[in-house]
Chain A
């Protein structure tokens, strides 16, 4: 039989969250019976993950792997997450939430936000969080898993916050059990076929060679294969997202921190606070054009709410996207494919999105330019829509109290975002497209939360009679109250999970 050689041997370069997520998913879906999966990593190279926060699609990834959620929580020191609390973002002293749940419920094909805006215009309560069950639970520090489709009670959407190193270790055990081969070593050179340009093998520092048909570059910011060998190029988005540094440090856990991530806008960027079972992850994302690394580190340490558990570590990055995420027989997944600050906890999701896309477009042979083109186009859309969502946090703010925030106020924004903001201002919706991760409900939470109040709403929201609208709103609110009333505290529920009391 002639024809191009089929892909059989897959090599993942780099461990960490991206590498082991990829290994676990491939091991589960394509298996190691007809394929070989090798992951090359070096213990010398530290992984970036500190406290890692996720968004609800992580549940799909867990489901794909078929892992037990309680076991996963125990193994990764995870806590539940109902959303993000944004402090001082719209203006100093102001707090709002981006909960994971739906804002109310659509009626007659028109989004809830329009009806709600109508009710507010008629003198209703302007607190949008009253109509999101997750926001209510978040505010009260409560959590539980809910069965799907309970009549007259909303479902609770959630994600996790966990220790990324423990997550990688957990997925490594999962992968190795399913036949993924781990090779220890640092990559020294990458060998490409002189004519086709396809990667043939990687050579390690000890001189050994790992051959492969298809390579996944999970080597982090450097992009050893995708950039180092294949020169895919990098599109720099610093003009829209000026932050280029993060300093991270874990500190002791405080009493009952609540099921959410906190993001606080500060002088030259923002700080994250991610509570785990055993400690709290903290970090300061900033631009070194506005604050030095030392000053930022000092500011972060000063603002910790408990004693630090380690020395702070500084990470350097450039916001942007690899021009091509799939070149020849190599796909970049994780930081090698681009970097967006973790303001909306999208890092793991972008890994997951690339993995799903790779599985959907899995190559038959070593060279599949059509599949690569499709992959790159789809991932570009994902990246760009997440990028716009993150930029919106900076642009919609009224903060102008420091040079950094004045810079954000004055900086340009992508046309795609400009169009969204104009649409939102006029009629309370940004017109999301199908491929976008963040939906109208998310955009509403952020833009309204940051202080952008729409001037109008969808005209069809006026069609419902006033009494019907009041009854529906009250019905939704009552459902939320019923739901939240039955929820235990996050701490109590987490304890139950860890004791194995609740069963899925």
Chain B
């Protein structure tokens, strides 16, 4: 006879804690589950930002969050992609656009035709055929000021001010019935691999059936769980610092984030309505914190306003579910905020948890399934991030030379080989990024297929060129149908 999970205690902070609280409350609140949050002091400063890939929109839908309210509360802006600059030295920047539809000719991937045409002298870049990239470059997105979206086959990602977003999530969770309490953790009472109760620094001891560790890198609960050892990825990712700062708002608002490589790492610029959030991820043995802070205004071409904060960063993964404790967000996985992935990692953890929500409070056989599935997702995301580093073409810079030379995981090496051989992206289970995303960054970073599928030759050249023209015309037309981000969220709309 199993005992139902009735008490869930989330110990954590910031987006991980409140997204989890709201998600579990909305999913299981009506089934009699009580969701409580012990909120640890926030690690967010005024400069922090959350950048999200389009999948967040689906999570918001589940959570009952309305795009318009979220954008209004967080100085938020929609973006259709990320522009990568300086990753190949003086090579051209490229935009990784958030397309949702693959482009095909006679049911063959468009890339195949492009590879052939390029070999025959076509000068048009692959991203010119990407609706999301084209719209992003022109500062457009499908989102209107009231949060509605024009009908188009692309989906925006988002930038939110960090603190405002957490405030919004907290309000939504509390009003949905979550119980919250601000406190620190004094002691964790364990029995074997299970947690019995958590004693707070205000003296209260809280027992629960299921504990969620949403405390970030501190891993206040799971860090001491047996078998939850952290697997460090320091060999692959050398950056050991994350710096956040702000610059004045950009006018007009661009339609993308800017992810610019520099000698010690990369620098992200995330436009918001009232400021530009800056994140620098770098190796402090290559450039000191002070040097990076001084270089930022130069690299951005904009002054830094307000405070600059630096946090250490250690990349890696641990088993996210041990006993009756599940880690969500940074407590389970530490990846750089590259590819706007942090909220998506929380989202992935939550999706797995909701799907595998334990049926028996005393026995949780779901844990290994959760761990395998989550880890598999995370490793694919990690490989997507590693692609940027591995394919960089900044020579004679120690940080970047090493990033190119360090061996990549075999699965990623295989992806490179297959893509280079014939423009095919090997897609596995548990992928967050789809074929068009991989293609975009492979080609963007200069990994161009040597050949293409022979089926392409079935289409006569004239017909192919006509299709190309048609595609470009359609991209231009679809882009024109989208409003400018500036007109909806910048200038007078501010």
List A residues at the B interface (Cβ < 8 Å). Answer: 462-468, 470-471, 473-474
How many angstroms between the C-alpha atoms of A417 and B98 in the bound complex? 55
B394 at the interface (CB under 8 A from A): yes
B89 with A463: CB separation less than 8 A: yes
In the bound assembly, the distance between CA atoms of A389 and B267 in angstroms comes to 45
Contact with A along B279-305 (1 / 0, CB 8 A): 000000000000000010011010000
B interface vs A, CB < 8 Å? 85-86, 88-90, 260-263, 267, 295, 298-299, 301, 394
Asked if A471 meets B295 with Cβ closer than 8 Å, knowing A465-B261, A465-B394, the reply is yes
Other-chain contact of B90, A464, A471, A474 (Cβ < 8 Å): A464
A467 in contact with B261 (CB, 8 Å) = yes
Interchain Cβ contacts under 8 Å between A and B, 9 examples = A463-B89, A464-B90, A465-B89, A465-B261, A470-B299, A471-B262, A471-B263, A471-B295, A474-B298
Across the interface, name the chain A residue whose C-beta is closest to B89.
A465
Of B89, B261, B298, B394, the contact of A470 (CB 8 Å cutoff): B298
B85 CB contacts on chain A under 8 angstroms: 466-467
Other than A467-B85, A467-B267, give 14 A-B pairs with Cβ distance below 8 A: A463-B89, A463-B90, A464-B89, A465-B88, A465-B261, A465-B394, A466-B85, A466-B90, A467-B263, A468-B86, A470-B298, A470-B299, A471-B263, A473-B298
Give the contacting residue for B260; candidates A462, A467, A474; CB below 8 A: A467
- Quote the shortest CB–CB distance from B365 to chain A (angstroms): 50
In the assembled complex, the Cα of A474 lies from the Cα of B88 at a distance in Å of 21
> Which A residue sits closest to B93, measured CB to CB?
A466
CB-CB nearest in chain A for B260: A467
Q: By the criterion CB–CB under 8 Å, are B263 and A468 in contact? A: yes
Nearest B residue to A463, CB-CB? B90
Q: Are the CB atoms of A466 and B86 closer together than 8 Å? A: yes
- Majority SS of interface residues in chain A? helix
Neighbouring A residues of B260 by C-beta, 8 Å: 466-467
Q: Choose from B90, B263, B295 the contact partner of A462 (Cβ within 8 Å).
A: B90
Shortest distance between the CB of A110 and any CB in chain B (Å): 12
Given contacts A465-B86, A466-B90, contact A471 B299 (CB under 8 A): yes
B90 touches A467 (CB 8 A): no
Chain B residues with CB below 8 A from A467, complex form: 85-86, 260-263, 267, 299
Residues on the B chain within 8 Å of A473, using CB: 298
User: Which residues of B sit under 8 angstroms from A462, Cβ to Cβ?
Assistant: 90
Chain A residues within an 8 Å CB radius of B262 = 467-468, 471
Min CB distance A306 to B, Å, is 44
Query: Cβ of B298: which chain A residues have Cβ within 8 Å of it?
Result: 470-471, 473-474
Q: Report the bound CA distance from A314 to B298 in whole Å.
A: 54
Nearest CB on A from B399, distance (A) = 12
User: Most chain-A CB neighbours within 10 Å: which of B85, B90, B261?
Assistant: B90
Q: Could you say which residues of chain A place their CB within 8 Å of the CB of B301? A: 470
Q: Which single residue of chain A is at the shortest CB-CB distance from B261?
A: A467
In the complex, A464 Cα to B90 Cα: how many Å? 5
Distance (whole angstroms) from the CB of A135 to the closest CB of chain B:
21
Query: What are the residues of chain B within 8 A of A466 when measuring CB–CB?
Result: 85-86, 90, 260
CA distance A243 to B386 in the complex (A): 69
Cα distance, A473 to B262, chains bound together (Å)? 14
- CB neighbours (8 Å) of A465 from chain B are 86, 88-90, 261, 394
Residue of A nearest to B287 (CB): A471
Instruction: With CB as the reference atom, state the residue of chain A lying closest to B400.
Output: A465
A463 to chain B, nearest CB (A): 5
Distance, CA A470 to CA B267, complexed state (A):
14
Give min CB distance, A483 to chain B, whole Å: 17
Nearest Cβ on chain A to B116's Cβ, whole angstroms: 29
What CA separation (Å) do A464 and B263 show in the bound complex? 12
A-B pairs, 4 with minimum CB distance: A474-B298, A465-B89, A467-B262, A465-B86
Assembled-state Cα–Cα distance A470/B295 (Å): 9
- In the assembly, what is the distance between CA of A217 and CA of B267, in Å? 67
Q: Chain A residues with Cβ under 8 A from B299's Cβ?
A: 467, 470-471
**Shortest CB–CB separation between residue B301 and chain A, in angstroms?**
7
Residue in A closest to B298 when the chains form the complex, CB atoms: A474
Closest to A477 in B: B298
Docked pose: A462 CA to B90 CA in angstroms: 6
CB nearest to A123 among chain B residues: B301
Chain A's nearest CB lies how many Å from the CB of B94?
Answer: 13
Max chain B Cβ within 10 angstroms of own Cβ: one of A471, A473, A474: A471
Contacts of A464 in B (CB 8 A): 89-90
Q: Residue of B at shortest CB range from A478?
A: B294
Contact partners of B261 in chain A: CB under 8 A: 465, 467
Q: A464 to B262, alpha carbons, bound, how many Å?
A: 12
Closest to A472 in B: B298
Identify the interface centre among A463, A467, A468, A470: most chain B CB within 10 Å of its CB: A467
Docked Cα-Cα span, A474 to B300, in Å, equals 12
- Give chain B nearest CB distance to A361 CB in angstroms: 46
Residues on the B chain within 8 Å of A470, using CB: 298-299, 301
Q: How far is the CA of A463 from the CA of B260 in the complex (A)?
A: 16
| Docked CA distance A465–B89 (Å) | 4
Report the minimum CB–CB distance from A336 to chain B (whole Å).
Answer: 54
Residues of A within 8 Å of B88, CB to CB, are: 465
- Chain B residues lying within 8 Å of A471, measured Cβ to Cβ, are 262-263, 295, 298-299
> Cα distance A471–B263 when bound, in Å?
9
Known A466-B260, A467-B261: A474·B295 in contact at CB below 8 Å: yes
**B267 neighbours in A (Cβ, 8 Å):** 467
CB distance from B308 to the nearest CB of A (A): 17
The minimal Cβ–Cβ distance linking B350 to chain A, given in whole angstroms, is 36
**Shortest CB–CB separation between residue B446 and chain A, in angstroms?**
14
Distance from B148 Cβ to chain A, minimum over Cβ atoms (Å): 35
Q: Could you say which residues of chain A place their CB within 8 Å of the CB of B394?
A: 465
**Candidate in A463, A464, A470, A474 with the most chain B CB atoms within 10 angstroms:** A470
Q: Which residue of B lies closest to A461 (CB)?
A: B90
Separation in Å of the B84 CB from the closest CB of chain A? Answer: 12
- Cα A343 to Cα B261 with chains together (Å): 47
Residue of B nearest to A464 (CB): B90
B89 / chain A contacts, CB cutoff of 8 Å: 463-465, 468
- A465 and B295 CA atoms in complex are apart in Å by 15
B393's closest neighbor in chain A, by CB? Answer: A465
Q: How far is the CB of A489 from chain B (nearest CB, A)?
A: 29
Chain A residue at smallest Cβ distance from B394 = A465
Q: Which chain A residue lies CB-closest to B295?
A: A471
Chain B nearest CB: distance from A18 CB in Å?
A: 50
Nearest residue (CB) in A for B300 is A470
CA distance A54 to B296 in the complex (A): 42
CB distance from B198 to the nearest CB of A (A): 46
